[in-house]
Structure 1
Amino acid sequence: MSQTYDPRHTAVLLVDPYNDFLSEGGKVWPRVEPVAKQVGLLDHLRSVVTSAREAGVRVMFVPHRRWEPGDYETWNYPNPTQRGIMERHSFARDTWGGEFHPDFQPQPGDVVAREHWAQSGFANTDLDFQLKQHGITHVVLIGLLANTCIESTGRFAMELGYHVTLVRDATAAFLPEMMHAAHELNGPTFAHTVTTTGELTAAFEGAHA
C-alpha cells in the first residue's frame, strides 16, 4: 500500500465496540458472528488499535447511543435500526451489553466522542470538533457495522474534507453481501483508501520508524 500516515494528523475511529456487538452473549453478536469470524474481526481490531497506539496515532471511540427507556418512542421517524434497538434494547446504558469490549477500553490520550443516535458518528456529536482540535486530517475507520455506521461515518468524513481509509477485515456486517457492497461497490465512491489490516499496520510501523 502506497498510502502513508503522519501520526500527528491521523486518527483511528473505533466505531461501536460494544459487548453487544463483539462478545459472546451480546445481543447482536449472533448476527455478526459468521462474518466476524470469517474475516478475523477481533484479532484485526486488536492489531489496528495496538499498532496505532505504538505509532502515536490517536484512537477515537465513536459510540452509538446507549439505549435508555423511552428512546425513540416519541420520534416521528425512527429508522428500522432504531426500531430494532427499541425492541432488543441493544447497547443499554448501565448494562454489560452497553459497555465497551474489555479489549477496547479508552486509554490516556484517547478521545471518546459523544454518542451518535443513528448511523453517522458525526451527526449531532462533537466528533468533527474533536478531530479538528487535535489536528487530524486522515481518519481510519474500524468497527461496526461495515454497511451502516462505518459507511455513514466515512461518507460524512469525506464531505467534511477528511482523508478516509476503510479497512476491509477490521469490520463486519450481518451478511457477506453487505461486506461486498461496503467495500467493493460503495466504499470506493467516497474512501480515498480501502485496505487490509496487514497493509495498514505496516504503514503505521513505517510512520513510527
Structure 2
Amino acid sequence: MESINSTERAILGKKEAQLPVTGFEIDRHTAIVIVDPQNDFLSPEGVAWGAVGQSVMENNTIENIETLFRLGAENGIHVFVSPHYYYQHDHGWRFEGALEKLMHNINMFDRGDQLNVEGFEGSGADWLPIYKPYINNKEKVTVCGPHKVFGPENNDLVLQLRKQKIDKVILAGMSGNLCVESHMRELLECGFELAVVGDATASAKLPGLDGDQAAQTNYAMMASEIYTTNQLEEILESQKSLAED
C-alpha cells in the first residue's frame, strides 16, 4: 500500500472534518424563544447601539425578530421572551465580569425593582415598539422572569417551557455571542433540541473583536439546525400548505 505523506494526511483530515447534518422537525412541541428584544439593544437610542448597531443592521435583526413573532402568531407556535432587567439592588454587586460591569456603568436594562414599573414605558428596558402588539398577546407569548448575567439559569424559562410540554426550541434575539449563546448552551444541557435563526441575532463588533462571527460559528457547532428567517418562513408555509391539503 502506497504511503501517505503528512501533507496528504492533513488534506484528508480536512475532508473528513465535516459537521454531520442532524436536522430539526418543527412540531406541536416546538416553541420560539426570543432573548432580550429590548430598546437598549435594538433601538438606535439604546445604550448598546454603538457596539451592536452595525451587526443589527447587517443582519436585519429588528425586522427578522418581528417576523418570528408574526410566524409564531400565524402558526400557533408559542413564543417565550427571556428579558434582561437590572434592578437597583443589582448595582450593589461586589464584582462583575467585563460586560456585566459595562452594562451596570451605562445603566443598561435598568428598572427600579421587581414591583416598580415607573419610567419603564419607552425606557431602555422596554420592548421595541414594533414587538409590543405580539408580546401583549398573553395567550400566545409568555414573558419569563429576567435573566441576570447571560444565560437562563436564574430565571424561569426552562420551567415555563416544560410546563407547556415543549422539548424543541427555535432560538433568536440579543446579543448573539453572549445571552443567545448562553441560552443555547443551557437549553442543550437541559435536554432541549435546538435550532437558531442566525440572522435574527446580532452581536457587538469592537476593534479586534467580532461577536457575530463568534456566535455564528458556535451556533453551527452546537445547534441541530441554523435557519435564516426566510428559510424558516418557507418551511412553516410549506407545512401549513401540507396541513391544508
Quick check: TM above 0.5? yes
Counterpart position of 2:87: 68
**Equivalent residue for 2:142, pick from 111, 117, 126:** 111
Question: In structure 2, what is the Cα distance between the partners aligned to 1:49 and 1:208?
Answer: 17
Question: In structure 1, what is the Cα distance between the partners aligned to 2:49 and 2:227?
Answer: 24
Aligned ranges for residues 24-173 of structure 1 at < 5 Å?
24-64=44-84, 66-75=85-94, 77-93=95-111, 94-95=119-120, 96-105=123-132, 106=135, 107-109=137-139, 110-121=141-152, 123-173=153-203
Cα deviations by residue, 1:31-66 (Å, 9 ceiling, x for unpaired): 2111111111111111121112100111111001x2
How many correspondences in the alignment?
204
RMSD: 1.7
- 1:27 CA displacement: 0.8
Cα deviations by residue, 1:131-183 (Å, 9 ceiling, x for unpaired): 01101111111110110000000011111110111111101011283212211
Q: Which runs of 4+ in 1 moved over 4 A?
A: none
Q: Higher relative CO (CA 8 A, sep ≥ 6), structure 1 or 2?
A: 1
Counterpart position of 1:4: 25
Counterpart position of 2:220: 188
Question: In structure 2, what is the Cα distance between the partners aligned to 1:34 and 1:74?
Answer: 31
Question: In structure 1, what is the Cα distance between the partners aligned to 2:212 and 2:100?
Answer: 21
- 1:72 CA displacement: 4.0
Q: Which stretch of the first structure deviates more once superposed, 165-174 or 100-109? A: 100-109
Counterpart position of 2:16: none
Cα deviations by residue, 1:105-156 (Å, 9 ceiling, x for unpaired): 21222101110011002x1111111001101111111110110000000011
Counterpart amino acid of residue 190 in structure 1: M
SS of the aligned residue for 1:71 comes to: helix
Rg: which structure is higher? 2
**Equivalent residue for 2:211, pick from 149, 155, 178:** 178
Structure 1 unmatched runs, 5+: none
Instruction: Quote the sequence identity (%).
Output: 28
Q: Does the CA contact (< 8 Å) of 1:119 and 1:148 recur in 2?
A: yes
Counterpart amino acid of residue 170 in structure 2: V
TM-score normalised by the chain length of structure 1: 0.91
